[in-house]
């Protein structure tokens, strides 16, 4: 299980697994429950690289980031840890 502490968004932390190169069991701690459960369900089983591509750069209101963007950053960091 990976955990990532977010920055600049309502969710405080994101937890997830990576199994066989796919995103599994995403859980946002805090934030907008309906939207974040939806995001979690939509990317369940998606290849990590595809999830990053779809989520990276999404903003929320006037913020420079969003919960989905923070998830893309968390996934990128987890790939670096796996490769390192």
Q: In terms of pTM, does the model score above 0.75?
A: yes
Q: What CATH architecture applies to the domain 2-83?
A: 2-Layer Sandwich (3.30)
CA 17, distance to chain mean position in Å, is 11
**The three-state (H, E, C) secondary structure of the chain, written as one string:** CEEEECCCCCCCEEEEEEECCEEEEEEEECCCHHHHHHHHHHHCCCEHHHHHHHHCCCCCCCCCCCHHHHHHHHHHHHHHHHHC
Question: Over the stretch 6-54, which tens digit does the pLDDT of each residue have?
Answer: 999 999 999 999 999 999 999 999 999 999 999 999 999 999 999 999 9
Report the distance separating Cα 18 and Cα 52, nearest Å.
13
């Amino acid at each position: 299980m990976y955990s990532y502490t977010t920055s600049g968004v309502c969710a405080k932390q994101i937890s997830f697994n990576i199994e066989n190169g796919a995103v599994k069991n995403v859980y946002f701690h805090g934030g907008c429950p309906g939207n974040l459960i939806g995001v979690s369900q939509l990317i369940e089983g998606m290849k990590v690289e595809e999830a990053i591509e779809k989520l990276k750069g999404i903003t929320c209101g006037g913020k420079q980031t969003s919960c989905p963007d923070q998830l893309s950053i968390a996934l990128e960091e987890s790939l670096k840890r796996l490769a390192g």
